[in-house]
Structure 1
Amino acid sequence: MLMRPAELEAIRKGEVDLAFRRWDRPRVKVGTRLRTAVGLVEVVSVEQTSLSALRAEDARRAGAASLGALKDALAQRAERPVFRVGLRYAGTDPRETLRDALPDADEVRTILAGLDRLDAASPIGPWTRTTLRIIDRNPEVRAPELAAELDRPTAEFKRDVRKLKERGLTESLAIGYRLSPRGEVVLDHEDGPRERAPRREGHPLPRTIGAPATRALRAVDVHTLEAVSGWTRRDLAALHGVGPIALDRLEAALAQLGLSFA
């Protein structure tokens, strides 16, 4: 179930708790927790309805400007029924907590055993350690470049990185990846400690701002939201690649941390 960043932010704030979709059949189930850019969004109800049954209160709860605007948004695919989906913000993604949890020796052995099972089930042979190592050597590098270095299709490489992310070993950045603190402990157990560039303090740039804006910010040595807060909106807008949508998404991410533009 796709949701726009502004819609997600409104759900997180509790301002939106409904969504309306044209589907041929229900695409989500009650109790499903969707992983999104703002954390977990839980589906609390799914029911078929009709355009004639919609009211102004439905539009307000769905974040639409008016009942007419909501109906206009549902005008396409008129042959499909309308579904009313109840939503609530269910907290941060548990993977965020997991990736900062440093495992002890026993837990490391358990994690490695799980990686061994992934390797054994793979049609291409062992890949988990190789993938951890290339991400460790190349933080913030785009997936296609990493996949090319391993001579792997990008889509398959991304799929496998997600399996590592599920275990809290990697984290996705606005561009590329990096090992989580948990992943570093696991890889160091395998290979021995290695010297790494100091981890940047602060919260990474949100992935929702897009690659052009991320590259523009990196070019002026802005890698975290805390660094963004030192800039005015006008000065950021002057950077080539940082458009109004990226600025709005940065502003929303700053607000979650109690920060704002300078």
Structure 2
Amino acid sequence: MLIRLAIAEAIAAGTIRVQYRRWAKRRVKAGTWIHTPAGVVVVDSISECDPESLTDDDARAAGEPSISALRKGFRGADGDPVWRVEVSFGGGEAGGRPDRGGKAGGRPDGGEDPRVGLRADDDLSDDDVAMVTTKLDRMDERADAPWAWRTLELIRERPAVLAADLGAVLGLERDVFKPRVRRLKALGLTESLKVGYRLSPRGEKLLDIRRSDR
């Protein structure tokens, strides 16, 4: 579940406590921590709601100007359930230690590593695609040679292959290749296997969108 920076900042300020999403099935649960540029957002509860009952007041409470704007932002099929997600601010800054205890990137007791839900979330909005694409492009721009997009394509073509063998294809040592894949995993794009990796549903969808745009 991605949260726009402006919304995350409002959650941090305490002015927004609820979000709405249309998903075929529930993708987060109470206790999930979502890492955002504004800090950690915690899912306090999630329940299915009747989308026809939502009003402009509900939309404004979620940070949207109107119910039509809220509905316009829904992804997925028209018949998919709409979920009311109550949220609160967990503290910290991006990559920092949350105020509620635990390690950055970890999870509270009974909660879920936010990357797990992120990997399964292939309902990518235009904003989602733009944000992740920008991050990957920057990874490539800052490296001696582009690697981020090439690594995703390589993992798609060769799942469950040793990291050392994949790295060799790109001319990278295993100790260089593995940390780079961890950066892709942090974006929810890859999953680790007993041997090697595979793309997550999110990673597959991103590459499909990238190919269709070319």
After TM superposition, the score normalised by the length of structure 2 is 0.49
Judging by fraction of residues, say which structure has more helix: 1
Q: Which one has more relative contact order, counting CA pairs under 8 Å at least 6 apart?
A: 2
